[in-house]
Amino acid sequence: MVEDSGRSQPGQGRPPDKVSRFWERFREKLTGQGVKAPAQRWYVVRVEQYIKVSHGKRLREHAPADVTAYLEQVGRDARIEDWQLGQTAHALQILFGPVLSMSWAKQVDWQAWRQGSRSLSPEHPTVARDYSPRDYSAPRPASNGGTLKGVRRTHHEVLNRVVCAIRSRHYSIRGQWLSLIHI
């Protein structure tokens, strides 16, 4: 059994010696891949989390689609930091590559998952920082600006934070009300 966490184990119902050997082999491969001892515990945790959500499906029955779906799910979790997603991808890469020698492990673009898990800078083109109502056929603010013009001028910083929060949570940038506060 895993001394570190005691969480879900591969092949539940198997003799403990097989489970222990599995984790020993996994740790050996981690060391061989240059993963430092303090981080190895977290790599074990990442694989345990993956095993837990696989609902008893044997690891040798997994396919690239299973890994990709899991990484997408982890990537959507707002509580997960970018480095944690990268670490999860690396842990699964070692699991399905060197540990289990799955032939399909080379089909997964691990590097993209590890490097693509970085946050986008505010200048990145997909952040939609250049949103304008005309670009998306959203209703335009009143031509005279009226009260909204004063609100935008007075509360510029607050409105900027609201727009950033909306975009960072991936809410629709086509929301009609967003055109009212666009600055």
The segment with the largest mean pLDDT, out of 12-21, 47-56, 77-86, is 47-56
Amino acid at 148: L
All structural domains of the chain, each given as residue ranges with its CATH number in brackets, are 16-115 (1.10.150), 125-181 (no CATH)
Structure-block tokens of residue 84: 């944690």
Q: Give the largest CA-CA distance in the chain.
A: 77
Residue 113: per-residue pLDDT: 82
Q: What is the reported pTM? A: 0.58
Residue 160: per-residue pLDDT: 76
Q: To which residue do tokens 């209703």 refer?
A: 139
d(CA 139, CA 179): 7
Contact, 59 vs 100, CB < 8 A?
A: yes
Q: Which tens digits make up the pLDDT trace of 80-95?
A: 888 899 999 999 999 9
One DSSP character per residue, 168-181 reads HTT--TT-TTHHHH
Handedness of CA 106, 107, 110, 112 (dihedral sign): positive
Residue 161: per-residue pLDDT: 77
d(CA 97, CA 162): 44
pLDDT(8) > 50? no
pLDDT(145) > 60? no
Q: How long a stretch of residues is the chain?
A: 183
Average pLDDT over residues 158-169: 73
Q: Which tens digits make up the pLDDT trace of 99-119?
A: 999 999 998 888 888 875 555
